Structure 1
Amino acid sequence: MNPASEQSRLYRAVIEYDGTRLLGFQIQRQGRTVQGEVERVLHRLTQSRVRVAGAGRTDAGVHARGQVIAFRASWSHSLADLHRAVNALLPDDVSFLSLDIAPEGFHPRFSAIKRCYRYQIGLWPGHSPLRSRYVWELGPGLDVSAMQQAADDLLGSHDFMTFGQPPQGKITIRRIFSATWQSQPPYLYFDLCANAFLRRMVRNITAALIQVGQRQSPAEYVASLILAKDRSLAPPPAPAKGLILTKVFYPSDEEI
């Protein structure tokens, strides 16, 4: 973020979006993105170029209900007026849930200490047109106990090279705080929290756990993939549509 001026302030927002028709968070030359839609609206409201930073660069098709963004902008009206104006102009698949003034030095990505995702599985037989938009439809019969046993091997700090693509030149060690399967028929939820994630890491881990649940691999499969540090050994990633960025935590938050 650039240094503050008398005319500008640093804003922080929690946003929600349906990623179905979006090409991810990060702005691209072509196609709709979350960052692009928000910057377009802020430019219209402030008549100046506004750059938006996010806590996580979600991929195309991934959803969020707890993405955190920050931006510096000049706005002469109230905070509530800005919140209303932004939501009035955003498309129906992106919305500001909250908006406040951020402390100087805040960055949604680099200030974060924990990020949580949820992956949603549909346990019904066949296809449900009304529910399939946000879940991976796998039907009944998954061995959730074995999947949880395998997920327990994720806890702690490990080199997750097998499960994700790091930024160029960056390390692939991440710390997993929690990895929990919750069965709430006809849905099955996988909640995963870590200090940070590699690209596609959650979807790659989910796919490996599903392979355990479908009895294609033993519960020790995930641990063996971690030790292998070889992306070519892992299964293809789970579909993007089942993944939701649920919450981002900062040092000021009570929970960690």
Structure 2
Amino acid sequence: MRVALGLSYRGTGYLGWQSQPSGQTVQDRLEAALSKFANRPVRTMCAGRTDTGVHALNQVVHFDTDVARDAFSWVRGTNRYLPRDIAVQWCRPVDERFHARNGARGRRYTYVLLESPVRPALEAGQAGWVFRALDDGAMRQAAAHLLGEHDFSAFRSSECQAASPVRTLRRIDIARHGAYWRFDFEGNAFLHHMIRNVMGSLLAVGQGTCTPEWLAQVLAMRERRLAAPTFAPDGLYFLGPNYDAAFALPERTAAFDWLP
């Protein structure tokens, strides 16, 4: 049968999601834990491959198995073998039509940023940081240029393996909570480093280095070298994917209430 899991993790100590020979990735740790619990090898497919240092609140994975377990048992049994910074949040049996990656209708990310003269301490690794004041209005104007379907080559990593640079950004929301900023992104899919590259450019506008119109020009030129440098991964959280409602999969975990 096919099983879907919702997973949360702190990405600080891992080399991203995708399995590597070092074994120091989230996928490696999850598959090792699932294999121990099932007493046979288990291979997983995720909804969105996160980079080194990027966190997830509701990463969705699926796997096929002939091991019969209650959904609750998959959660508790797998968590027994996972490190403290990775935890399965929920489990649902799904039919073979479900595919964690190909079936996702959209994906959501949040970037949490501290604006302060002093670097973060308790939030180290969990929030980005700028020490210059940010202009909310200028960043909103700049973000509006990115909405819709575009060629995002200007914000694409040179290591990106996507067949096409065209993506659709449906929403960018910017809000402030005291000293913290929250940037919410929703789109059909994202290129490698796309959000971190967009963040670098939005912050260049917010700090007055560039104008909102500059961001529109960068987008139109489709040249990565014209955009701002890639911003830190520390404050980036994968909130999770969206699927057809017929699958009835959870779109929230408890950690959603923890973010500012």
TM-score, structure 2 normalization: 0.91
Question: Counterparts of 2:52 and 2:135 in 1: how far apart (Å)?
Answer: 29
**1:1-256 equivalences in 2 (<5 Å):** 9-139=1-131, 141-165=133-157, 167-168=160-161, 170-252=163-245
Which blocks of at least 5 consecutive residues in structure 2 are unaligned? 252-260
Question: Counterparts of 2:225 and 2:123 in 1: how far apart (Å)?
Answer: 32
Report the Cα offset of residue 174 of structure 1. Answer: 0.4
- Specify the SS of the correspondent of 1:15: strand
Distance 1:234 1:31, change over 3 A: farther
Which blocks of at least 5 consecutive residues in structure 1 are unaligned? 1-8
Question: Counterparts of 2:36 and 2:80 in 1: how far apart (Å)?
Answer: 12
Structure 2 letter corresponding to 1:203? R
Question: Counterparts of 2:69 and 2:13 in 1: how far apart (Å)?
Answer: 32
Report the Cα offset of residue 169 of structure 1. Answer: 6.6
Structure 2 letter corresponding to 1:247? G
Contact 1:22 1:60 (C-alpha < 8 Å) held by counterparts: yes
Report the Cα offset of residue 167 of structure 1. Answer: 4.9
Identity %: 33
Question: Counterparts of 1:23 and 1:112 in 2: how far apart (Å)?
Answer: 24
Contact 1:46 1:74 (C-alpha < 8 Å) held by counterparts: no
- Specify the SS of the correspondent of 2:2: strand
Distance 1:13 1:223, change over 3 A: same
- Specify the SS of the correspondent of 2:172: strand
Question: Counterparts of 1:228 and 1:132 in 2: how far apart (Å)?
Answer: 35
Contact 1:123 1:185 (C-alpha < 8 Å) held by counterparts: no
Contact 2:23 2:29 (C-alpha < 8 Å) held by counterparts: no
Question: Counterparts of 2:71 and 2:89 in 1: how far apart (Å)?
Answer: 13
Contact 2:162 2:191 (C-alpha < 8 Å) held by counterparts: no
Aligned Cα root-mean-square deviation (Å): 1.6
Report the Cα offset of residue 39 of structure 1. Answer: 0.6
Question: Counterparts of 2:69 and 2:171 in 1: how far apart (Å)?
Answer: 42
Question: Counterparts of 1:86 and 1:11 in 2: how far apart (Å)?
Answer: 13
- Specify the SS of the correspondent of 1:246: strand
- Specify the SS of the correspondent of 1:13: strand
- Specify the SS of the correspondent of 1:154: coil
- Specify the SS of the correspondent of 1:128: coil
Contact 2:19 2:28 (C-alpha < 8 Å) held by counterparts: yes
Query: What is the count of residue pairs matched by the alignment?
Result: 247
Structure 2 letter corresponding to 1:198? L
TM-score, structure 1 normalization: 0.92
Report the Cα offset of residue 108 of structure 1. Answer: 0.8
Distance 1:101 1:190, change over 3 A: same
- Specify the SS of the correspondent of 1:132: coil
